[in-house]
Amino acid sequence: MSRAAYSHGLDKRPANFQPLTPLSFLARAAQVFPGHVAVIHGRQRMDYAALYARARQLASALARHGIGKGDTVSALLANTPPMIECHYGVPMLGAVLNTINTRLDAATVAFILDHAEARVLIVDSEFAELAREALAKAKVKPVLISYDDPEFPGLGAPLEGIDYEALLAEGDADFAWAMPDDEWDAIALNYTSGTTGNPKGVVYSHRGAYLMCFANSLAAELGQHPVYLWTLPMFHCNGWCFPWTLSAVAGTHVCLRWVRAGEIFRVIATEKVTHLCGAPIVMATLLNAPDADKQPLPHRVRFVTAAAPPPEAVLASMGEAGFEVVHVYGLTEVYGPAVVNAWHAAWDGLPAAERASLKSRQGVRYPGLEDLAVLDPASMKPVPADGATLGEVMFRGNLVMKGYFKNQAATEEAFAGGWFHSGDLGVMHADGYIQLKDRSKDIIISGGENISSIEVEDALYKHPAVKLVAVVARPDARWGEHPCAFVELKDGASVTAEALAAFAAEHLARYKLPRTILFEELPKTSTGKIQKFALRERAKNLT
């Protein structure tokens, strides 16, 4: 028989093959650590037994309302306990959780509800008005559930619909939820906040979400029983899958409705927070907080950041403030972070600037991702690992989305050639670490030379008065384009355009210097990213 012997009588069966799903982690945490605090929200404390019971009640109650496999349950919720419960209760039915960015406009929310074919919509009172407007525009008529947060009364008139707690009271805490039929089944639907065209619906699988739990645990070095502060919105890539990840390590969620420095410093101290995630804007919020809002950290706190390459100066200040920054990178399409700046102990001995420079690179594939490359999108061949040649960052493996919901054309385009095309431009360094340069539209071409807007921004960030910077192309009669910098200064700080340009000249080649510098508050997207597209428009129309 020889070579064929391993293919006989060794098939998959329930005893040795079960679908991978993060639901399994919650069931385990509730069994092993039923009394461990799972969720803290203001004065509320919920242990793992209660979280599991409430998730099952939610599933049971939704089932009574006819929700089942393949149904979409949408949510307009803040980082509150119901949002965590939804991450379990909804997929327990084989239904798909669609968390909606609460900062979107009503028309976009209406588009999402219709496109997702929402059967249920769960709304926090803070966003009830947004939901009303969206529902008026939408075609779907979902079952409406209203959550009025007892910790934050009076945020708005609750949405007309079933009260969330009343809904749970209908449900059975011993509800016999089922494992997914297949680990490839959808668990979540996340709409990208595209800057042009309609948002696309990114579909996650149970398998991918499960593997992210393990991968996050290693990449963020969560250990057992971490205490995790919710500075990252859970509507953003399902909070990078941390709502599920915490169950794998029996951690504690510390909810947070609003990202405000004082409250963040307070709960880090009182709840002994060990980990938090967020965009660099959250780091800026912490660093630039008034002294009255700051508190010493009780211990070293791990801050996992992504979304934009962190400016070197910010990284250095965070270290001084007692945070250990873990730099990750990803997109909605790869479950949040799928790249991590894996740190080498040997780098600890380098000068601060060099350390910050190494830390600002995006890094290497996540444990759990099978491949990461910088490819020439035309030839699909890797660019030289020289730290200079630009290519497109591409991903391959189990931490990549199933595809775009009801959008076969976009799915095929994104997966052309067997890789997920991120649309991000970057370089491969000799040591295998990738570094993002700009999206193609962020490259400034001046006198035929490519200028990286990130490089110019990094130089300006080094100035002590600078809080936020965005550099975009401004049309230039002579050079084609030149770098135009929009600068937000720290409270009480001041610097002139001339002084700032002179400062930048110490760090940049002459042709890269911003020839236009404007001081103003920067426009930001609903997820806290600087709206470069708006600034690009402004730069175009400057006279």
By CB under 8 A, what part of segment 395-424 binds a copy of itself?
Answer: 395-398, 400-403, 405-408, 411, 414-415, 418-420
Does residue 507 belong to the site contacting a copy of itself (CB under 8 A)?
Answer: no
Q: Which of residues 65-94 bind a copy of itself (CB under 8 A)?
A: 68-71
Q: Which of residues 30-69 bind a copy of itself (CB under 8 A)?
A: 31-33, 68-69
Q: Which of residues 243-282 bind a copy of itself (CB under 8 A)?
A: 248-249
Comparing CB distances to a copy of itself, the nearer of 380 and 497 is 380
State which amino acid sits at residue 515: R
Number of residues that bind a copy of itself (CB under 8 A): 73
Among 106, 289, 297, 364, binds a copy of itself (CB under 8 A): 364
Does residue 192 belong to the site contacting a copy of itself (CB under 8 A)?
Answer: no
Comparing CB distances to a copy of itself, the nearer of 141 and 266 is 141
What is the C-alpha R_g of the chain? 24
DSSP string, 352-384: HHHHHHHHTS-BEEPTT--EEEEEETTTTEEPP
Comparing CB distances to a copy of itself, the nearer of 371 and 521 is 371
Whole-number Å distance between alpha carbons of 325 and 283: 10
Considering only 19-27, 97-105, 271-279, 451-459, which stretch makes contact with a copy of itself by CB under 8 A?
19-27
Considering only 39-47, 74-82, 212-220, 315-323, which stretch makes contact with a copy of itself by CB under 8 A?
212-220
Sheet holding 275-278, edge to edge: 44-47, 37-41, 252-254, 227-229, 275-278, 301-305, 323-331, 336-340, 364-365
Among 66, 223, 262, 447, binds a copy of itself (CB under 8 A): 223
Comparing CB distances to a copy of itself, the nearer of 295 and 411 is 411
Q: Which of residues 291-320 bind a copy of itself (CB under 8 A)?
A: none
Among 224, 494, 541, 543, binds a copy of itself (CB under 8 A): 224
Among 47, 124, 148, 185, binds a copy of itself (CB under 8 A): 185
Comparing CB distances to a copy of itself, the nearer of 189 and 307 is 189
Among 123, 179, 374, 504, binds a copy of itself (CB under 8 A): 179
Considering only 7-15, 236-244, 258-266, 527-535, which stretch makes contact with a copy of itself by CB under 8 A?
7-15
Does residue 461 belong to the site contacting a copy of itself (CB under 8 A)?
Answer: no
Comparing CB distances to a copy of itself, the nearer of 311 and 337 is 337
Does residue 367 belong to the site contacting a copy of itself (CB under 8 A)?
Answer: yes
How many other C-beta atoms lie within 10 A of the C-beta of residue 289? 17
Mention every residue, 6+ apart, whose C-beta is less than 8 A from residue 54. 46, 81, 85, 89, 168, 173
Considering only 283-291, 365-373, 457-465, 528-536, which stretch makes contact with a copy of itself by CB under 8 A?
365-373
Contact 245, 213 (CB under 8 A): yes
Comparing CB distances to a copy of itself, the nearer of 47 and 124 is 47
32-54 burial: b if 16+ Cβ within 10 Å, else e: ebeebbbbbbeeeebbbbbbbbb
Among 1, 136, 378, 430, binds a copy of itself (CB under 8 A): 1
With left for phi above 0 and alpha for psi between -120 and 50, is residue 223 left, alpha or beta?
left
Does residue 198 belong to the site contacting a copy of itself (CB under 8 A)?
Answer: no
Does residue 16 belong to the site contacting a copy of itself (CB under 8 A)?
Answer: yes
Does residue 128 belong to the site contacting a copy of itself (CB under 8 A)?
Answer: no
In the bound complex, what is the minimum distance in angstroms from residue 114's beta carbon to a copy of itself?
Answer: 12
Contact 183, 207 (CB under 8 A): yes
Does residue 5 belong to the site contacting a copy of itself (CB under 8 A)?
Answer: yes
Comparing CB distances to a copy of itself, the nearer of 408 and 543 is 408
The pairing of beta strand 72-76 with beta strand 96-99: parallel
- Paired with 329 in beta bridges are 339
How many other C-beta atoms lie within 10 A of the C-beta of residue 63? 18
Comparing CB distances to a copy of itself, the nearer of 18 and 440 is 18
Among 214, 479, 519, 533, binds a copy of itself (CB under 8 A): 214
Comparing CB distances to a copy of itself, the nearer of 100 and 211 is 211
Whole-number Å distance between alpha carbons of 430 and 151: 52
In the bound complex, what is the minimum distance in angstroms from residue 37's beta carbon to a copy of itself?
Answer: 12
DSSP string, 228-276: EE--S-TTSHHHHTHHHHHHHTT-EEE--SS--HHHHHHHHHHTT--EE
DSSP string, 405-472: TT-HHHHHHHTGGGSEEEEEEEEE-TTS-EEE---GGGEEEETTEEEEHHHHHHHHHTSTTEEEEEEE
Mention every residue, 6+ apart, whose C-beta is less than 8 A from residue 242. 216, 228, 232, 277
Considering only 163-171, 319-327, 341-349, 533-541, which stretch makes contact with a copy of itself by CB under 8 A?
341-349
Considering only 213-221, 232-240, 264-272, 299-307, which stretch makes contact with a copy of itself by CB under 8 A?
213-221
Beta strands, E only, 478-519: 480-489, 516-519
Does residue 96 belong to the site contacting a copy of itself (CB under 8 A)?
Answer: yes
Comparing CB distances to a copy of itself, the nearer of 137 and 429 is 429
Among 24, 295, 357, 526, binds a copy of itself (CB under 8 A): 24
Contact 471, 514 (CB under 8 A): yes
Tokens of 98: 């669609």
Whole-number Å distance between alpha carbons of 380 and 313: 35
The pairing of beta strand 480-489 with beta strand 466-476: antiparallel
φ and ψ of 309, to 5 deg: -60, 125
Whole-number Å distance between alpha carbons of 511 and 504: 11
In the bound complex, what is the minimum distance in angstroms from residue 293's beta carbon to a copy of itself?
Answer: 32
